[in-house]
Amino acid sequence: MKASPRPYHHGSLREALLRAGERALESGGVPNLSLRELSRELGVSHTSPRRHFADKQALLDALALHGYERLGAALGRAAKDEGTFDVRLTKLGRAYVSFALKHPALLAMMSEAKHRLDAPRELLEASEKALAHTLAIFAAGQAKGAVVAGDPLRLALVAFAALQGLVALSTNGKFKGESLDDLIGEIVERLILGLRPRSAVRGRGAR
């Protein structure tokens, strides 16, 4: 179990803090994550985390970064360059929701951390990789003529908005008996239909 045979006092406090921190985060959100409580769990003094993370936010940022790396990897696997646009986008959506269901509190914190004014550059970079996968799917879809023309970034944002909302709903859990799996399918399907190329596109709606 122990990755390192205990090179130092504790061994690998930093990783242990990340593990325990994520556990605490998932069971009660950010306010439930206490540096002192983590220290107690790990059997170290209450200031030792400071050696690895300048403050609580630094630990959260590190957790968020790790989260984005895993999310990016999961989306990357799901969005592999195979199949039609519809299939790829559906798989991407399912992967996103799957991650959200497994790590709801982490994902919420990730989003918060990214939106902070002084968010670390690495975090922003990692979060953009997720969008990059979506972007690639759209570019490929346009090349095949499966998606309406236009700035792929803009279209990806449309899809991203829907996925984000999907996640918000899925974290909610139950929809009065609705099957989440079916709901994902329906949302992505509607999204795909709305993105199909058309001869004439109606006006932009009310102004």
| Binder among 18, 25, 33, 137 for DNA (CB under 7 A) | 33
Q: Please give the Cα distance from 161 to 71 (Å, whole number).
A: 17
- Whichever of 59 and 110 has its CB closer to DNA, that residue is 59
| Binder among 71, 86, 135, 141 for its own copies (CB under 8 A) | 86
| Binder among 9, 115, 121, 144 for its own copies (CB under 8 A) | 115
Binds 122, which of DNA, its own copies, none (CB < 5 to 8 A, cut-off by type)?
Answer: none
Rounded to the nearest 10°, the torsion over CA 81, 82, 87, 88 is -10
- Other CB atoms closer than 10 Å to residue 140's CB: what's the count? 17
- Whichever of 16 and 72 has its CB closer to its own copies, that residue is 72
**Residues contacting DNA: total by CB under 7 A:** 23
Burial of 207 (0-12, 13-18, 19+ CB in 10 A): exposed
| Angle at alpha carbon of residue 89, lines to 88 and 92, rounded to 5° | 85
- Kindly identify the residues of this chain, within the stretch 91-110, that bind its own copies according to CB under 8 A: 91, 94, 108
**46 belongs to the binding site for DNA (CB under 7 A):** yes
Strand-pair partners of 175: 178
The SS3 call for residue 98 is helix
**192 belongs to the binding site for its own copies (CB under 8 A):** yes
Q: Tell me the window of 10-18, 34-42, 61-69, 190-198 that interacts with its own copies (CB under 8 A).
A: 190-198
Tokens of 143: 């090349």
Binds 57, which of DNA, its own copies, none (CB < 5 to 8 A, cut-off by type)?
Answer: DNA
**60 belongs to the binding site for DNA (CB under 7 A):** no
Tokens of 4: 């390192």
**189 belongs to the binding site for its own copies (CB under 8 A):** yes
Q: How far apart are CB 110 and DNA at their closest, in Å?
A: 18
Q: Please give the Cα distance from 198 to 37 (Å, whole number).
A: 58
